[in-house]
Amino acid sequence: MFPHHTVVRLQDTDAAGILYFANQFRMIHEAYEELFDKIGFGFARLIKDCDFFLPIVHAEADYTAPLSVGDKLEIIISIEKIGQTSFILNYRLTRAGQVVGTAKTVHVSIDKRTKGKISLPPPLREALTKVK
């Protein structure tokens, strides 16, 4: 499991002052990017140096409590599954220990040149296994 910390900003809210639903996806994506930096597959490296990429092919979220400006969040990422060509990440958003939202993303490994599915590269698979 991997923790990420963030704060709800004014720009994250809607006219009612509540977290705009799409911004939960932005927040979990920031957590995902930080996780990948930590495991050695940061986006700068993926874009510049690797011959594969990891698009999100499915995303879902649930919102269990309203969030407002200044709310401090911890986003915990866990790995649900590592398959042959894909992996699934789960996200649990908490405020002061209370679960306020959950999300899931499914990522597929593709060849940058052909855009076709490929097996997860062994170094990435190994790095993901250590997070689990």
Grouping H, G, I as helix, E, B as strand and the rest as coil, residue 42 is coil
Residue 40 backbone phi and psi in degrees, to 5: 90, 15
Query: Would residue 51 show up in a list of annotated catalytic residues for this protein?
Result: no
Query: What's the token pair of residue 115?
Result: 């855009």
């915990």: which residue's tokens?
Answer: 76
Query: What's the token pair of residue 118?
Result: 């490929």
The catalytically annotated residue of 12, 14, 37, 62 is 14
């990522």: which residue's tokens?
Answer: 107
Other CB atoms within a 10 A radius of the CB of residue 57 amount to 12
The DSSP symbol for 85 reads: S
Give the DSSP per-residue string, 24-36.
HHHHHHHHHHHHH
Q: How far apart are CA 100 and CA 122, in angstroms?
A: 35
What residues are labeled active site? 14
